[in-house]
Amino acid sequence: MNFRLKIWRQRSAEDRGRMAEYPVKDVSPDMSFLEMLDVLNEDLTQKGEEPLAFEHDCREGICGACSLMINGIAHGPERAATACQLHMRHFKDGDTLTVEPWRAKAFPVLRDLVVDRSALDRIVQAGGFISVNTGSAPEANGLLISKETSEKAMEAAACIGCGACVASCKNASAMLFTAAKVSHLALLPQGQPERAARVKKMIARMDEEGFGNCTNQYECEAVCPKEISVSFIARMNREYLKAQST
């Protein structure tokens, strides 16, 4: 398979950046999108040109590092998948593919396709943890948690913090990410002592970081690789309203 890539190149945070075009030939349909970019970088290196900078780690859809906007869609056209899980067979031979970094005020571009997503880390650091000393791990059946509640908590905890929800939202909102982190602890007994303080601190930090507000466009849910529901945003809003009275 052969492709023409239109890729954002930016030397540093201070550089204005530009779109550059590159042909990529003899790509296996079984390659992942990142493996295809590896092929491009090998070709650029052999030509003495600067290789493309992009983030990756696990390449198994777990770490959330592969933050790419592909043809205007966060992580590309495949639903419930990260860019590293997207295979080239999902495109047509001869396609032109446009690859850009996440676009959000809170995610400044560092170089090429690499953005600084540490704003998400700071939201978690504001309250997305349990600081109460609960001792060693309890016996599995010691805490009675309903199946419905445990499954809902696990659904929220599946968030990998990739930032696709932010990149796809016209307001660059981090509401889905923050809601998932607030909800999975609010649903479990261990998260109850700091429940009110947690949601107030995390939402305050989210606003400080410059993320926008949610206007119910559902784009975040559509591109989330873990298919986290926007219902968690409603849950977080309820948590926040209750916390105001404490």
- The vertex-222 CA angle with 221 and 226, nearest 5°, equals 65
pLDDT of res. 167: 98
Radius of gyration of the chain (CA): 20
pLDDT per residue as tens digits for the range 69-125:
999 999 999 999 999 999 999 999 999 999 999 999 999 999 999 999 999 999 999
- Cβ atoms of residues 201 and 207 within 8 Å: no
pLDDT of amino acid 144? 86
Structure token pair of residue 243: 């916390």
What is the pairing mode between strands 3-9 and 96-100?
parallel
Model pLDDT for residues 14-36, shown as the tens digit of each residue: 999 999 999 999 999 999 999 99
Give the integer Cα–Cα distance in Å for 51 and 40.
Answer: 8
What string of DSSP letters covers 109-164? Answer: EEETTEE--HHHHHHHHHH-S--S---SPPPTTSS---HHHHHHHHHHHT-----H
What tokens were used for 233? 């945003």
pLDDT at 135: 73
The backbone torsions φ and ψ at residue 21, rounded to the nearest 5 degrees and listed phi first, read -110, 140
Measured in degrees and rounded to the nearest 5, phi and psi for residue 80 equal 55, 40
Structure tokens at 221: 């849910």
Predicted pLDDT at 102:
97
User: Mean pLDDT throughout 56-77?
Assistant: 97
Joined tokens for residue 115? 């953005």
Backbone dihedral region for residue 76 (phi beyond 0: left; psi -120 to 50: alpha; all else: beta):
left
218 vs 232: CA distance, rounded Å:
12
The DSSP bridge partners found for residue 69 are 74, 100
pTM of the model: 0.94
Torsional class of 146: left (φ above 0), alpha (ψ -120 to 50), beta (otherwise): beta
Half-sphere exposure of 85 (CA within 13 A, CB side): 17
User: What is the distance of C-alpha 79 from the center of its chain?
Assistant: 14
Q: Domains of the chain by range and CATH?
A: 3-110 (3.10.20.30), 118-243 (1.10.1060.10)
Location of structure tokens 């023409």? 4
